[in-house]
Chains A and B, each alone.
Chain A
C-alpha cells in the first residue's frame, strides 16, 4: 500500500518552455502533498506544501510564479515549472500523506534537464 506515482521520470526540454510534473497517490487519499528539489549528492529541499483544494504554501525563496502547484483532487498534485531555464535543471520529488502524523510516501522523482 501507500504508493505514490510521479510522472514523467525524465524530461529534457528547451529553455523557455513550461514543464508539468504529476504526482498521484494510487491507493490512498492524500490530504497533503509536498514538492522537493534535490541537487546531486545533496539533501532534499522543501519547495512547497499543498493541501487539496487550497493554495500551496511556498518555502522562503521559492518563486511561486515560477513553480506553479495545483492540488485539485485528493489523489493528484501537479508542479509546473514555467518558462524553464537551465538553472531549473534538477531532480524534483513529490511526497504525499493521508494523515499529517503519518510518514510521507515519496514518488520516484523527475529528472528535469533544460537545454
Chain B
C-alpha cells in the first residue's frame, strides 16, 4: 500500500527567504506520480508541482522546485523567494498509475513579513 509521510506539521519562513518542505513516501510500484498541492486559507486545492517517477530530472515551476530522490523515496519541495501568498497548508501526495491519490498529513507554512 502507498504511504506518504510529512514530518513537519508547521514551518515558518521570512519573506524572500527559501524554505524546504519534506516528504517521504513508500510504494511497491515502479510507475507512479508525485505531487505537491497547496491549500490556502480559502481551502481551494491548488496543484503546485508534479513529478513522474520515471523522470530523473527534478520538476520546476517558477519559484517552486522539487528534490526527487527515488532510491531514498524522498520528494521535498523548495520554495524560493517566499511570498506572503505562499502561506498555506502544503500536501505531498503520491499516485500509483491508475490508482487513487494518497495524501500526507500536510505541513502548515507561514510566511512572515
- Please list the residues of chain A having a beta carbon within 8 angstroms of any beta carbon in chain B: 34, 38, 41-44, 46, 49, 91, 93, 95, 100-101, 103-106, 108-109
A100 contacts B98, C-beta separation under 8 Å: yes
Q: Chain A contacts of B101 at CB under 8 A?
A: 34, 46, 95, 104
CA distance A34 to B106 in the complex (A): 19
A101 contacts B97, C-beta separation under 8 Å: yes
B91 contacts A49, C-beta separation under 8 Å: no
A-B contact count (CB 8 A): 43
- Please list the residues of chain B having a beta carbon within 8 angstroms of any beta carbon in chain A: 33, 35, 42-45, 47, 50, 89, 91, 97-98, 100-101, 103-106, 108
A43 contacts B103, C-beta separation under 8 Å: yes
Question: In angstroms, how far is the closest chain A Cβ from the Cβ of B83?
Answer: 22
Q: Chain A contacts of B108 at CB under 8 A?
A: 41
B97 contacts A100, C-beta separation under 8 Å: yes
CA distance A103 to B108 in the complex (A): 22
Residue contacts A-B, CB under 8 angstroms, 5 given: A42-B105, A43-B103, A43-B106, A103-B33, A109-B44
Q: Chain A contacts of B97 at CB under 8 A?
A: 100-101
Nearest-neighbor residue (CB-CB) of A2 within chain B: B47
